[in-house]
A and B are shown apart, each in its own frame.
Chain A
Amino acid sequence: MSQVNQTGKLTADEIALYDRQIRLWGLAAQANMRSAKVLLINIGSIGTEISKNIVLSGIGNLCVLDNHIVREEDLGCQFFLEKKDVGKLKVDVCSPKIKDLNPRVNLTVDSDSLANKDELFFKQFDLIVATELRKDQITELNRISRKLNISLYVTGSNGLFSYIFVDLIEFVSEEEKLKTGRTTLTGEISSNRTIIEVDTRVDDDDPKKIFETIKTRNSYKPFDDMLQTATLEGKLTKRQVKRVNSIVPLTISYLTKIPSSVEELHKNTLSTCDKLGIQSSTLKDEYIQQFYKQANVEFAPVAAIIGGAVAQDVINILGKRQSPLNNFIVFDGITLEMPIYEL
């Protein structure tokens, strides 16, 4: 990441405005956020939520790339849009509204098509969040983001269901937590994460409290690799394997190939189950039906949840706080389950 560290001091006004979050992540992280440059691709329901969250939190620079026209059905899931906006370019409608949320943020919009963008364009950014893209678009974008060493978040809506894919290439996170019981050891903790350093610190205020600072190296995979090699084998206990939510294989199967019928979705998902190493009996029929029916449907409450989770992770990695998501997350809006898998 080309993190420009202009830790120019925050002004008293900024400290007052961001008071309630500075108390959570500190002045340094807030200052880091001010220098960040983020690209948001597509401002649909999740994109709207993400832009709201990161702009409110004081991200320095945001660019929105979207060439869609406002449609009637967008009004039911995107709060920047009004009836009178139908037929206009989305970015033109959203731009003043985003700006109004926080005039301190440097906002640019671009209504060019994603396909027209070259490396030079992407090079300007530290981080890309892409929403509602097809597999081929994601693959190409991910190729560029890897080449330019830019962090990438990909997310999309399927009605009550949704997913997040993360590729930070390699990311060392530092977290501090209260030590309770046993000491954290260095070494591999999961297929994508290794603890590389552990320090302890005694709390200034209360000498009885000891904090551990844990440095973790997170490794990631490109989107295509993930789709091809995704497996849960060896990563879950037997009981967990039995309880894998149907949305996991359904989402992967749908991302890999868009089916032309519900039967095809069913068939494809069965082979995804196989690849993942989960039993096809875990696949629930009503989920297959609903997933097919709701694929690509945008839904406001789900967008709020996913947009919140993505924006929070973006803020965390810009502020270098908390370990980042790694690397595939699905959400089931029925049971409210939201597992994180390293695929």
Chain B
Amino acid sequence: MSRDSNITKIIGEENLKKLRATKCLLIGAGGIGSELLKDLILMEFGEIHLVDLDTIDLSNLNRQFLFRQRDIKQPKSTTAVKAVQGFNNSKLVPYEGNIMDTSQFPLHWFGEFDIIFNALDNLAARRYVNKMSQFLSIPLLESGTSGFDGYMQPIIPNETECFDCTKKETPKTFPVCTIRSTPSQPIHCIVWAKNFLFAQLFAADVAVNNDSENKDWGTTDEDEIKRIKQETNELQELQDIILSGDTTLIPNIIEKIFIHDIEKLLRIENLWKTRTRPTPLNSSQITTDLIDRNLDLSALWPIQDQIQKFSSITSKLMKRMKEEDNHIEFDKDDEDTLEFVSTAANIRSQIFNIPLKSVFDIKQIAGNIIPAIATTNAIIAGLSSLVSLRVLSLLDFAKITKPTDLNMVFTAKASNISQNRYLSNPTLAKPNCNCPVCSKVVRGVMNIQSDMFKHLKLKDLIITLSEKYNFDTEELSILDTTGQRLLSDFDFDSLDEKTLEEIKVLPGSVILVTDETEDNNGMGLKPLELYIESRKIDSRKTSDIELPDIKIPFVKMTTAEEEHNESSTQETPVLQTNEVITLDMDDNDKDIKKRKLSDESSEATQNKKSKQEEDDIEIIEEDDIIELD
């Protein structure tokens, strides 16, 4: 028996040949990526191209089984490829780079692959790859995990739901009022400490003082100007202390933010009619002890230790400011910044009668750390590689008659959704007719001769487009989707005479072209999205711009407003925040679903209405990723 005898028993010799000729793209060599690489190799995929931009970190080693302590700081893609050499039988091509980098990975490069496996950790890249798969109609196997939760979704362009057909949950934000004046949970204080206090003191652009002297304050009343100045930059005096490097002034900082500012809030009586009043620190609690001591990061420190640590860490950061060009960014792995944020948040929590947290816990919240384990990644990667056999039509005895026969999967037992199934496996849904990516635009590739970017003007492009697709030049708007740049529209033509190169419309740019004309019935042309590729100079070609032969549909223009109103009536109630939903454990017939996503780094969770039989309950989970004002 030989190495491939097992796979032959499953898919047969003919299909094994096809598999050996299959070229796949694997994006991500992290938690899911390491697992997928192993699975795809053992399945005898012919060629596997592996892309990752990241380097290996200690906290990866609990699950990314191809990496060792000795590999820390090495690039993931090349290290992974080296690590699998012992059992590899495929052609492997590693790339270090960002998949969204159009110069390294132009559209035609994606076009070389038969199938794409996403093993990504962020929403932006997922959306980008989804769009590339839509441009090229290449099947995409999307996946993600977060702790015990995971999902895997095959995407067959134009046939099944794409990644953007369902709304993705985004990081939670908090009302500015809650953060600044009336915190009631630890997270409010952490957001305040990180995004307001730390950002203002250490990461703000240093204000140029002279500027404020000449500013027109709209009044000549001295007191009034003083007030405005004070209010405008609440933390100016604190910034000055930090920049002065005079650590004997640290008690003044504590006094201002933990006593005076709180007293000021107390004076606004309306805030405390229905809330517990905060208790400012007592000035006797302020310490001048600046010695930095080692404390247990997973323990809860008493308030005096918090204040002492806050003082000593502030002193440390003040010294660092001098060496670091007066600018330090918050980084969860920079212990000084983490301890500053932790102690500041905890002191504020104490003041507002909110429970304190350990540095270990605060690191997770402030650093948007998403738990990640080997098992969930292994399961999801296994499912993704397994379903590829059906996507590629390599299981003769289980041929799909239509792409919507394929199954997607999310964890059910581990996610506490069901006690009688380990996985939920709904069949795929058709594309959502309101999807901004796969339904609301038509798509194509525009080839421009490589030497023409510096000669062609935006106006030339507008004319060529209008001639080809019968657009009304006056009503045409052109948007560069990378950078959200509006290049031209009814009220904006000052760039029309510029060359494509001057306005940075270059190979890899994706432009959105819309004729805004609408008839009396609200009908108009669908927007056109064009990927710009550069074409080699070819004297036989007569035109500098080659546009795709697409018939642009004339459709009813629904406004976003109408869509949201529609969907709000259709949708099942949606829960905000970290909730897992109603488990009807005793009702076996209820199929309860959930989709949650996001994985190892920041980024968001997805929720999606799954379609499987009747009893749908929609569940949304949200990671507490924070954002403020």
Contact = CB atoms under 8 A, between A and B. Distances in A.
Interface of A: 12, 15-21, 23-24, 27, 49, 52-53, 56-58, 71-73, 75-82, 100-102, 159-160, 175, 177-178, 180-181, 189-190, 193, 204-206, 209, 236-237, 239-240, 286, 289-290, 293-294, 297-305, 307-309, 311-312, 315, 322-323, 325, 329, 331, 333-341
A100 B581 CA distance: 41
Contacts of A290: 397
Given A308-B379, A322-B414, A338-B422, 9 more contacts: A17-B59, A73-B5, A159-B6, A300-B39, A309-B375, A334-B395, A338-B425, A340-B420, A341-B420
B51 interface: no
A175 B371 CA distance: 18
B223 interface: no
Nearest to A237: B589
B373 A20 contact: yes
Contacts of B526: none
A341 B413 CA distance: 12
B250 to A, nearest CB: 28
Interface string B72-105: 0000000000001011010000000000000000
A337 B425 contact: yes
B298 A15 contact: yes
A52 B86 contact: no
A180 B619 CA distance: 12
Identify the interface centre among A76, A177, A189, A294: most chain B CB within 10 Å of its CB.
A76
Contacts of B588: 236-237, 240
**B-side interface size class:** 35 or more
Contact of A24 (B298, B373, B378, B585): B373
A101 B298 contact: no
A197 to B, nearest CB: 17
A57 B62 contact: yes
B419 A323 contact: yes
Contacts of A240: 588-589
A294 B578 CA distance: 43
B25 interface: no
A325 to B, nearest CB: 8
Contacts of A325: 413, 422
Interface stretch (B203-211, B264-272, B384-392): B384-392
Contacts of A315: 375
B602 interface: no
Contacts of A206: 185
Contacts of A204: 186, 355
B386 A333 contact: yes
Interface of B: 1-7, 9-10, 35, 38-39, 41-44, 58-59, 61-63, 65, 68, 84, 86-87, 89, 147-148, 185-187, 297-298, 354-355, 360, 364, 369-379, 381-383, 385-387, 390, 395, 397-398, 407, 409, 413-414, 416, 419-423, 425, 578-583, 585-586, 588-589, 600
Contact of A340 (B360, B395, B421, B600): B421
B579 A180 contact: yes
Given A21-B62, A27-B298, A236-B588, A49 B397 contact: no
Contact of B582 (A79, A181, A189, A329): A181
Contacts of A331: 422
Identify the interface centre among A57, A293, A305: most chain B CB within 10 Å of its CB.
A305
A52 B38 CA distance: 12
B393 to A, nearest CB: 13
Contact of B581 (A71, A102, A180, A301): A180
A336 B409 contact: yes
Nearest to B9: A297
Contacts of A49: 378
Contact of B62 (A56, A189, A294, A299): A56
A325 B5 CA distance: 33
Contacts of B298: 15, 27
Contacts of B297: 12, 15
Identify the interface centre among A100, A101, A239, A315: most chain B CB within 10 Å of its CB.
A101
Q: Kindly list the 8 A-B residue pairs having the minimum CB-CB distance in the complex, ordered from nearest.
A: A304-B382, A300-B42, A308-B379, A308-B378, A305-B382, A24-B371, A312-B375, A338-B422
B398 A20 contact: no
B373 A21 contact: yes
A24 B147 contact: yes
Contact of B386 (A17, A239, A305, A312): A305
Contacts of B360: 15
A248 to B, nearest CB: 12
Nearest to B67: A101
A309 B5 CA distance: 26
A75 B3 contact: yes
Nearest to B152: A336
A226 to B, nearest CB: 16
Contacts of B387: 336
A340 B38 CA distance: 27
A44 B377 CA distance: 20
Contacts of B600: 20
Contacts of B371: 20-21, 23-24
B4 A16 contact: no
A341 B421 CA distance: 8
Contact of B3 (A24, A73, A175): A73
Identify the interface centre among B9, B185, B421, B589: most chain A CB within 10 Å of its CB.
B9
23 contacts: A15-B297, A17-B58, A17-B59, A20-B370, A20-B373, A23-B371, A76-B7, A76-B44, A79-B84, A81-B87, A159-B10, A160-B10, A178-B579, A205-B185, A205-B186, A237-B588, A289-B397, A294-B9, A302-B382, A311-B378, A331-B422, A334-B390, A336-B386
A100 B89 CA distance: 22
Contacts of B6: 73, 76-77, 159, 297-299
Given A23-B364, A77-B42, A339-B421, A177 B383 contact: no
Given A20-B59, A79-B38, A299-B10, A340 B3 contact: no
Contact of B355 (A52, A81, A205, A305): A205
Identify the interface centre among B10, B354, B372, B385: most chain A CB within 10 Å of its CB.
B10
B87 A304 contact: no
Contacts of A20: 59, 62-63, 369-373, 600
A16 B57 CA distance: 10
A196 to B, nearest CB: 16
Contacts of B185: 205-206
Given A17-B61, A240-B589, A177 B416 contact: yes
B383 A339 contact: no
A321 B103 CA distance: 48
A276 B247 CA distance: 77
A201 B588 CA distance: 28
Contacts of A334: 390, 395, 398
Contact of A308 (B382, B395, B580, B583): B382
Given A205-B186, A304-B378, A315-B375, A336 B43 contact: no
A24 B148 contact: yes
Identify the interface centre among A52, A75, A300: most chain B CB within 10 Å of its CB.
A300
Contact of B374 (A57, A239, A337, A340): A57
A336 B152 CA distance: 11
A302 B41 CA distance: 14
Contacts of B58: 16-17
B378 A336 contact: no
Identify the interface centre among B42, B68, B369, B398: most chain A CB within 10 Å of its CB.
B42
A85 B425 CA distance: 39
B383 A53 contact: no
B81 to A, nearest CB: 14
A304 B379 CA distance: 6
Contact of A18 (B62, B65, B414, B583): B62
A335 B407 contact: yes
Identify the interface centre among A181, A309, A323: most chain B CB within 10 Å of its CB.
A309
